[in-house]
Protein backbone atom coordinates (compact mmCIF):
# COMPACT_ATOMS: atom_id res chain seq x y z
CA UNK A 1 0.00 0.00 0.00
CA UNK A 2 2.57 2.60 1.11
CA UNK A 3 5.10 1.46 -1.46
CA UNK A 4 3.03 2.87 -4.32
CA UNK A 5 2.84 6.37 -2.89
CA UNK A 6 5.25 9.17 -3.63
CA UNK A 7 7.74 10.10 -0.91
CA UNK A 8 5.76 13.27 -0.11
CA UNK A 9 2.52 11.29 0.09
CA UNK A 10 4.21 8.73 2.37
CA UNK A 11 5.33 11.52 4.72
CA UNK A 12 1.83 12.99 4.87
CA UNK A 13 0.36 9.51 5.31
CA UNK A 14 2.69 8.85 8.25
CA UNK A 15 2.12 12.25 9.87
CA UNK A 16 -1.65 11.80 9.73
CA UNK A 17 -1.47 8.25 11.08
CA UNK A 18 0.80 9.28 13.96
CA UNK A 19 -1.46 12.22 14.78
CA UNK A 20 -4.42 9.82 14.93
CA UNK A 21 -2.63 7.82 17.65
CA UNK A 22 -2.40 10.67 20.13
CA UNK A 23 -4.39 9.81 23.23
CA UNK A 24 -5.36 6.31 22.06
CA UNK A 25 -2.97 4.51 24.39
CA UNK A 26 -2.01 5.07 28.02
CA UNK A 27 1.63 5.71 28.94
CA UNK A 28 1.90 2.20 30.38
CA UNK A 29 0.48 0.73 27.18
CA UNK A 30 3.19 2.55 25.17
CA UNK A 31 5.86 1.25 27.56
CA UNK A 32 4.44 -2.26 27.30
CA UNK A 33 4.45 -2.08 23.50
CA UNK A 34 8.02 -0.80 23.40
CA UNK A 35 9.13 -3.52 25.82
CA UNK A 36 7.33 -6.19 23.83
CA UNK A 37 9.02 -5.20 20.57
CA UNK A 38 12.54 -4.82 21.94
CA UNK A 39 14.80 -6.22 19.22
CA UNK A 40 11.94 -7.06 16.85
CA UNK A 41 12.32 -6.64 13.10
CA UNK A 42 9.04 -6.31 11.24
CA UNK A 43 8.31 -7.79 7.86
CA UNK A 44 6.63 -5.24 5.57
CA UNK A 45 3.39 -7.20 5.35
CA UNK A 46 3.13 -7.35 9.17
CA UNK A 47 3.52 -3.60 9.62
CA UNK A 48 -0.08 -3.01 8.56
CA UNK A 49 -1.75 -5.93 10.32
CA UNK A 50 -3.19 -5.14 13.77
CA UNK A 51 -3.65 -8.84 14.52
CA UNK A 52 0.14 -9.34 14.34
CA UNK A 53 0.52 -6.90 17.26
CA UNK A 54 -2.20 -8.69 19.22
CA UNK A 55 -0.44 -12.06 18.83
CA UNK A 56 2.86 -10.53 19.95
CA UNK A 57 1.22 -8.90 22.96
CA UNK A 58 -0.41 -12.16 24.03
CA UNK A 59 2.92 -13.99 23.72
CA UNK A 60 4.71 -11.26 25.70
CA UNK A 61 2.25 -11.74 28.54
CA UNK A 62 2.16 -15.53 28.42
CA UNK A 63 5.92 -16.04 28.27
CA UNK A 64 7.32 -12.96 30.04
CA UNK A 65 4.48 -11.42 32.07
CA UNK A 66 5.14 -8.11 30.29
CA UNK A 67 1.56 -6.81 30.59
CA UNK A 68 1.63 -7.46 34.33
CA UNK A 69 5.02 -5.73 34.57
CA UNK A 70 3.54 -2.53 33.10
CA UNK A 71 0.07 -2.85 34.67
CA UNK A 72 -1.65 -3.23 31.30
CA UNK A 73 -4.98 -4.95 30.73
CA UNK A 74 -4.07 -6.98 27.66
CA UNK A 75 -7.68 -7.42 26.53
CA UNK A 76 -8.34 -3.67 26.63
CA UNK A 77 -5.12 -2.98 24.73
CA UNK A 78 -5.87 -5.65 22.13
CA UNK A 79 -9.32 -4.16 21.52
CA UNK A 80 -7.71 -0.76 20.91
CA UNK A 81 -5.17 -2.28 18.55
CA UNK A 82 -7.80 -4.19 16.57
CA UNK A 83 -9.60 -0.88 15.96
CA UNK A 84 -6.51 0.63 14.30
CA UNK A 85 -6.30 1.18 10.57
CA UNK A 86 -3.42 -0.31 8.61
CA UNK A 87 -1.78 3.13 8.54
CA UNK A 88 -2.14 3.56 12.30
CA UNK A 89 -0.70 0.09 12.90
CA UNK A 90 2.34 1.02 10.84
CA UNK A 91 2.60 4.29 12.79
CA UNK A 92 2.61 2.39 16.12
CA UNK A 93 5.46 0.23 14.86
CA UNK A 94 7.35 3.24 13.50
CA UNK A 95 7.00 5.07 16.80
CA UNK A 96 8.34 2.05 18.70
CA UNK A 97 11.25 1.68 16.27
CA UNK A 98 12.11 5.35 16.83
CA UNK A 99 11.93 4.74 20.57
CA UNK A 100 14.58 2.01 20.32
CA UNK A 101 16.69 4.18 18.01
CA UNK A 102 16.74 6.99 20.57
CA UNK A 103 16.22 5.56 24.06
CA UNK A 104 19.92 5.36 24.93
CA UNK A 105 20.69 8.93 23.96
CA UNK A 106 21.53 11.33 26.77
CA UNK A 107 18.46 13.12 28.03
CA UNK A 108 15.94 10.63 26.65
CA UNK A 109 13.00 10.33 29.03
CA UNK A 110 10.83 7.21 28.90
CA UNK A 111 8.04 8.84 30.90
CA UNK A 112 7.83 11.79 28.52
CA UNK A 113 7.97 9.55 25.45
CA UNK A 114 5.11 7.43 26.81
CA UNK A 115 2.83 10.46 27.29
CA UNK A 116 1.48 10.60 23.78
Q: What value does the mean pLDDT take over residues 2-8?
A: 41
Is residue 12's pLDDT more than 80? no
Query: Alpha-carbon distance 71 to 7, whole Å?
Result: 39
pLDDT at position 95 is: 92
For the segment 26-72, what is each residue's pLDDT rounded down to a tens digit?
999 999 999 999 988 888 888 889 999 999 999 999 999 999 999 99
Is residue 5's pLDDT more than 80? no
What ranges do the domains of the chain cover?
Answer: 2-114
pLDDT at position 44 is: 84
CB 21 within 8 A of CB 116: yes
Write the DSSP symbol of residue 115: -
State the pTM of this model.
Answer: 0.83
From residue 94, alpha-carbon distances to 57, 101, 111 in Å are 17, 10, 18
State the number of CA atoms in the 13 A half-sphere of 21 facing the CB.
Answer: 28
Is residue 11's pLDDT more than 60? no
What percent of the chain is modeled with pLDDT above 90?
Answer: 68
Of 52, 54, 34, nearest to 43 by C-alpha is 52
pLDDT at position 14 is: 66
Amino acid sequence: MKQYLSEKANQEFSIDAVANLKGKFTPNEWKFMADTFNGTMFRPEHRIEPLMLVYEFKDAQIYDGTADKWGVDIEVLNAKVMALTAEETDAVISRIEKFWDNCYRPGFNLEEWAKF
